[in-house]
Each structure stands twice: as C-alpha cells, then as structure tokens.
C-alpha cells in the first residue's frame, strides 16, 4: 500500500504513561480510602476508558469517581508522562516527508495531554472520547480522523500497543501496526489483527515513506 497518513494511539505508544497513571491512581486511592493498586494492575487497564479502568481496579467504583479522578488526579499524570525514545524525532521526520499525522485515543481529552507534552504541533488531528461517543475498538474515532484528514483509508496506517488498537484498525479496515512498548507482545498483537509488529514507534521511519509500497500492510 502507499501511505498518505499515520494515526497513532497515545498511551504506551508514543508516551510511557504507565508510572504516571499508577502514581495518580494510588493518590486517588489514598484520597478515597481505597486499597493501593500495583503497577501491573494499572498497566493492564491502560488503553480502555477511565471509568472502566476504575471499575476494574475497584469493584465498588461509583459513577462520580470519574469526575473526581479527572479533576484531582489527572493533572498528576501529566507531570510524570515521558515520551518513548526517539518519538519527537520520528514525528518530525514523518512530517518532513509530507505525511499527515493524527492521534486517536480512548482518553477523554487527548488534546490536553498531547498539548502538555508539546506534541500538538506535529498532528493534523487529535481525537479523544470527547470527540466521539463510543470508545475503541469501535472504529468511529479512526473513521472520523480519516474524514478530517481528507485521505483514503486504504492509504492510512494505524499504530498502537494494545489488542484493542489492532481490533480497532481491523474494524476500520485500515492497516494496523503494533508496537510492543505496552503490555502486549508480538504474538498477541498479530493474533488481534496487526499486519506487522515493531519494537517501538521510531522503527516506523523505515517503512512509512510517501509513495512507498508497504507489502506487509496489504489487506489480509
């Protein structure tokens, strides 16, 4: 396939948010008088909507907890988020090659996190759950990004670190590329529909060149 645009997941794809979210979750637990949660427990919830994450971590979670977390603890995440190595350089190189870039995330306000890290200038579109009414793996968020970018979905690549990301790409009928910077290994991502799997986003530079045919992203 020939590539005109690349869409990215955010958490654990471009940015290591795992320790940041674990810290914020345990501050929330302390505030609410709940049990502390482990890093591994938190990592397993990254990539799904926050209300579901809260319910998985604490079985007696209440609807109002989402707003409390968003107001009191979400800012604590921003202070501790870290870009994966080579991400800024990769995004700049992709832009310089004339590719359109976007983010489609299950974060409610993806724009706030992206802007906090100073990455917003690299992207033509940034969408989160505030922009659509259903989370991934529903393909609506990817399809909306494609419409905004004005490109053919047959010339779009979606990059993510979770099984949900690869399912979303499959549901949207776009090429899915997995990265193993999160919880899932190559086998899991391939089984979920990834056309290929890379160790990190920076490796995509070897593949995504405008006009270059990516044989591994031919539709299965």
- DSSP three-state, residue 219: coil
Query: What CA–CA distance (Å, rounded) separates 157 from 173?
Result: 10
pTM beyond 0.75: the answer is yes
Pairing type for strands 175-179 and 156-160 reads parallel
Give domain 5-16+82-217's CATH number out of 3.40.50.970, 3.90.320.10, 2.60.40.10, 3.40.50.1000: 3.40.50.1000
pLDDT at 212: 52
Domain ranges of the chain: 5-16+82-217, 18-80
Confidence tier at 37 by pLDDT (50, 70, 90): very high
Instruction: Write out the DSSP string of 66-124.
Output: HHHHHHHTHHHHHHH-EEPTTHHHHHHHHHHTT-EEEEE-SSTTHHHHHHHTT-GGG-S
Q: Which CA distances in Å does 178 have to 34, 113, 144, 165, 175?
A: 34, 22, 21, 8, 10
Confidence tier at 220 by pLDDT (50, 70, 90): very low
pLDDT at 86: 96
Query: What CA–CA distance (Å, rounded) separates 14 from 201?
Result: 7
């Amino acid at each position: 396939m020939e590539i005109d645009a690349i869409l990215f997941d955010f958490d654990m794809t471009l940015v290591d948010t795992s320790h940041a979210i674990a810290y914020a979750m345990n501050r929330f637990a302390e505030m609410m008088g709940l049990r502390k949660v482990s890093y591994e427990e938190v990592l397993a919830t990254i990539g799904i909507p926050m209300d579901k994450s809260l319910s998985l971590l604490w079985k007696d979670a209440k609807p109002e907890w989402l707003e409390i977390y968003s107001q009191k603890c979400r800012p604590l995440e921003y202070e501790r988020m870290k870009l994966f190595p080579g991400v800024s350089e990769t995004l700049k190189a992709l832009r310089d090659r004339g590719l359109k870039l976007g983010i489609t995330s299950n974060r409610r306000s993806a724009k706030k996190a992206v802007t906090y890290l100073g990455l917003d200038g690299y992207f033509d579109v940034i969408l989160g759950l505030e922009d659509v009414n259903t989370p991934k793996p529903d393909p609506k968020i990817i399809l909306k990004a494609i419409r905004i970018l004005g490109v053919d979905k047959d010339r779009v690549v979606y990059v993510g670190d979770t099984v949900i990301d690869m399912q979303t790409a499959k549901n949207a009928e776009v090429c899915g590329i997995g990265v193993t910077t999160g919880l899932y290994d190559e086998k899991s991502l391939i089984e979920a529909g990834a056309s290929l799997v890379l160790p990190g986003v920076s490796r995509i530079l070897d593949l995504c060149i405008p006009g270059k045919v990516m044989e591994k992203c031919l539709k299965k």
